[in-house]
Structure formats: structure tokens, C-alpha cells
Structure 1
């Protein structure tokens, strides 16, 4: 799994490319944690290149959401693939971490 970030006007966009599984989950937590520590607690995670997510990946998303909110920000997800959407729906986590169609829409109403 490869993570990249780009700072936007009011948030950081993180792109996750690959499989978000038990191997990649700790990497995502560390990557997002570093962004928050560096002063970017408003984050949009772009998942359009994420081909697979398991329960470890879901746990990492929730951990990152909690960390961002504790820092006074938020974590939002965008570009969700069908497999990732299915995991979110089966666990009802799409109610907690609502997916946005595009990165730009994620913080557009704030």
C-alpha cells in the first residue's frame, strides 16, 4: 500500500493506493498521525485506488477518525470503490464515516 498526501486550502488529501489490510493498517495510522501532528487535522482520504479493505483497514479508518477529531479536525473519505463500500455498509460504518463521491465534496459544506 502506498500513501501520498497533498495539502489543499483547508484540508490535507491523502491518497491510498493498494490493499488496506492488516499489513497496511498500521502504516495508514502512522501516516495520518504524522499529518495531524504536523498541524493538518482536517483530512480527506481518497480511496479511489484502494482495491480492497478488510476489518484491519476499517479499524485503522476508525482510529484515524478518532485521532483527527481529538485534534479538533475530522477525517472524511471519498472515491470509495465498490468493495470498500460493501465493507462499510455491512458493518454500518457508512453511517459514522459517510463516503463522499469526490474529494472536493468532502469539506465543501464547511
Structure 2
């Protein structure tokens, strides 16, 4: 399965809506879209994973890189709407303690 990436951006905030699977095949396109958003000081990135049913360790690596970039660039990343299967990957690895993860996104472009 492929990965669809929709980015809704303004000056200080971006919402990244993902749909499909994040794996070794699709991770490079996610990295290409996500990492630049984390490199602007003060920028908030919200990643909506509602329509992602599968993610492997390659996907985790992309999110870890994005988180590291936010720390280096004084920006932020928040993950929302994780399906159980994807949420378990973060829980098992302990990354749920490192990332800001919200169950439900509030409003339209948050």
C-alpha cells in the first residue's frame, strides 16, 4: 500500500495528514515532507495518523529524526489520532514517553 501525505501549512503551524502505510518503501517520501517542517524556529507540526494502519521501525526512525530536529530548531511536533496498531509500536518502544501524543485532534487545522 502507498502513503498519501497532505500538508496544510501556515506561518507557524502545519498539519500533516497521513493515509496508508509507513514502511521502508514509503518512509523516504514522509521524511522529505516532514523534516523541513521541523527546521523553522517556533513552528508547530501536528501529524494526524488517523488513516495509518501500519508502521514499521523505518517509520519510527523518521519520527525520531523529526523529533531530534525540533529540539535542535526550537520547534515542536505532536502526533494525533493513532490507531491501536500504530500506538502499540510507540508504547512497546517507550517512545510514547518521548513524543507528545494526543488521542483526538481538536478542530480542523490544529
TM range (shorter): 0.7 to 0.9
Q: 1:36 to 1:87 in 2, by over 3 A?
A: closer
TM-score after normalising by structure 2: 0.83
For residues 42 and 69 of structure 1, what CA distance do their matches in structure 2 show? 12
Query: Going by fraction, where is strand more abundant, 1 or 2?
Result: 2
1:22 to 24, 28, 32: 24
**Gap runs ≥5 in structure 2:** none
Q: 1:28 to 1:39 in 2, by over 3 A?
A: farther
Query: How many residue pairs end up in the alignment?
Result: 106
Q: 1:4 to 1:47 in 2, by over 3 A?
A: same
For residues 60 and 24 of structure 1, what CA distance do their matches in structure 2 show? 11
Partner of 2:52: 50
Partner of 1:79: 81
For residues 25 and 4 of structure 2, what CA distance do their matches in structure 1 show? 12
User: Could you list the per-position Cα deviations for residues 65-106 of structure 1 after superposition, in whole angstroms to 9, with x for gaps in the alignment?
Assistant: 11122221011100000100111111111001132022339x
RMSD: 2.3
Instruction: Tell me if structure 2 keeps the 8 A contact 1:80–1:101.
Output: yes
**Gap runs ≥5 in structure 1:** none
Q: Which moved more, 1:12-21 or 1:63-72?
A: 63-72
For residues 9 and 82 of structure 1, what CA distance do their matches in structure 2 show? 32
1:102 to 97, 101, 104: 104
